[in-house]
Amino acid sequence: MSVAYSSTRVEVAIVGGGPAGLMLSHLLHSAGIDNTVIDNRSVTAIENTHRAGILERDSVRLLVESGVSDRVLREGQEHRGIDLRFGGASHRIDFQDAVGASCWLYPQTEVFADLHRARVRDGGDLRYGVTGTEVLDVRDEPRVRCVGADGRPQEIRADLVIGADGSRSVCRGLVGGATRYFREYPFAWFGVLVEAPPSAPELIYARSEQGFALISQRTRTVQRMYFQCDPSEDPSAWSDDRIWDQLQTRLAGTDGFTLREGPVIERTVLPFRSFVQTPMRHGRLLLAGDAAHTVPPTGAKGLNLALADVRVLAEAVERGLRGGDDDALTRYTDRALARVWKAQHFSYWMTTLLHRVASASDFDERRQLGELDSIVGSAAGTAYLAEGYTGWPNS
Ligand code: PHB
Q: Do 291 and 174 touch, CB atoms closer than 8 A?
A: no
Compute the distance between CA of residue 177 and CA of residue 279 in angstroms, rounded to an integer. 9
Mean pLDDT within 193-205: 98
**pLDDT range class, residue 4, cuts 50, 70, 90:** confident
**Residue 137, CA distances (Å) to 6, 141, 163 in order:** 18, 6, 14
Q: Do 39 and 25 touch, CB atoms closer than 8 A?
A: no
Spot the catalytic one: 106, 185, 226, 389.
Answer: 389
Residue 143 has a pLDDT of 97
Residue 392 has a pLDDT of 95
Which residues form ligand 1's pocket by a CB distance below 6 Å? 52-54, 203, 214, 216, 224, 297-300
For the CA atoms of 330, 336, 338, 344, the dihedral, rounded to the nearest 10 degrees, stands at -130
Q: Whose CA is nearest to atom 7 of ligand 1?
A: 300
pLDDT for residue 95 is more than 90: yes
Q: What angle do CA 127, 131, 132 make, to 5 degrees?
A: 125
Question: pLDDT (tens digit, 9 = 90+) per residue, 124-180?
Answer: 999 999 999 999 999 999 999 999 999 999 999 999 999 999 999 999 999 989 999
**pLDDT range class, residue 395, cuts 50, 70, 90:** low
Contacts of 66 (CB under 8 A, 6+ apart): 23, 26, 27, 30
Helix 379-390 to helix 326-354 angle, to the nearest 10 degrees? 130
pLDDT for residue 351 is more than 70: yes
Compute the mean pLDDT over every residue in the chain, rounded to the nearest whole number: 96
Question: pLDDT (tens digit, 9 = 90+) per residue, 268-281?
Answer: 999 899 999 999 99
Residue 326 has a pLDDT of 97
71 CB-contact burial (10 Å; exposed 0-12 / middle 13-18 / buried 19+): middle
Atom of ligand 1 nearest to the CA of 299: 10
Residue 297: active-site member? yes
pLDDT for residue 1 is more than 60: no
Query: What type of residue sits at position 360?
Result: A
Residue 389: active-site member? yes
Residue 307 CA, ligand 1 centroid: distance in Å: 16
Compute the distance between CA of residue 152 and CA of residue 3 in angstroms, rounded to an integer. 10
Residue 337 has a pLDDT of 97
Question: pLDDT (tens digit, 9 = 90+) per residue, 364-393?
Answer: 999 999 999 999 999 999 999 999 999 998
Helix 108-121 to helix 19-30 angle, to the nearest 10 degrees? 30
Spot the catalytic one: 26, 29, 79, 293.
Answer: 79
